[in-house]
Amino acid sequence: YLIQGPNIDLGLVVIQPGQEFQNHYHTTCEEVFYALEGEIDFYVNNERVPIKQGDVLQVRPHESHYLINHSDKPFKAVFIKSPHLPNKDTVQTENPTLTKE
């Protein structure tokens, strides 16, 4: 995290080529991602949402989200979570079954 609380959290996420980020959802927090560089496949409620540099994605509470970098370049994004919660509100879930598109 770059900033935590009292009202929001701000951070930078970097996903390397071939790397994935576990499927999860937040019980209370809303999360917004702004892609700084690269491309990645987000799966929001198991639906593929391709993201590239300059795109913004909003994920609401209870929407599961999973990230996988199929490209050959790192993906970097700024994320904002609100409200800031001192206790964790993240629930890990099974990764979606991916199909070739």
Condensed to tens digits (0 to 9), the pLDDT of residues 48-61 reads 999 999 999 999 99
Structure tokens at 23: 């499927």
| pLDDT mean over 3-28 | 96
pLDDT at 66: 97
CATH architecture of 3-88: Sandwich (2.60)
Query: What is the full DSSP assignment across 42-62?
Result: EEETTEEEEEETT-EEEE-TT
Query: pTM of the full predicted structure?
Result: 0.91
User: What is the pLDDT confidence band of residue 87, given thresholds at 50, 70 and 90?
Assistant: confident
Q: Where are the domains of the chain?
A: 3-88
Kind and range of the H or E run holding 25: strand 20-26
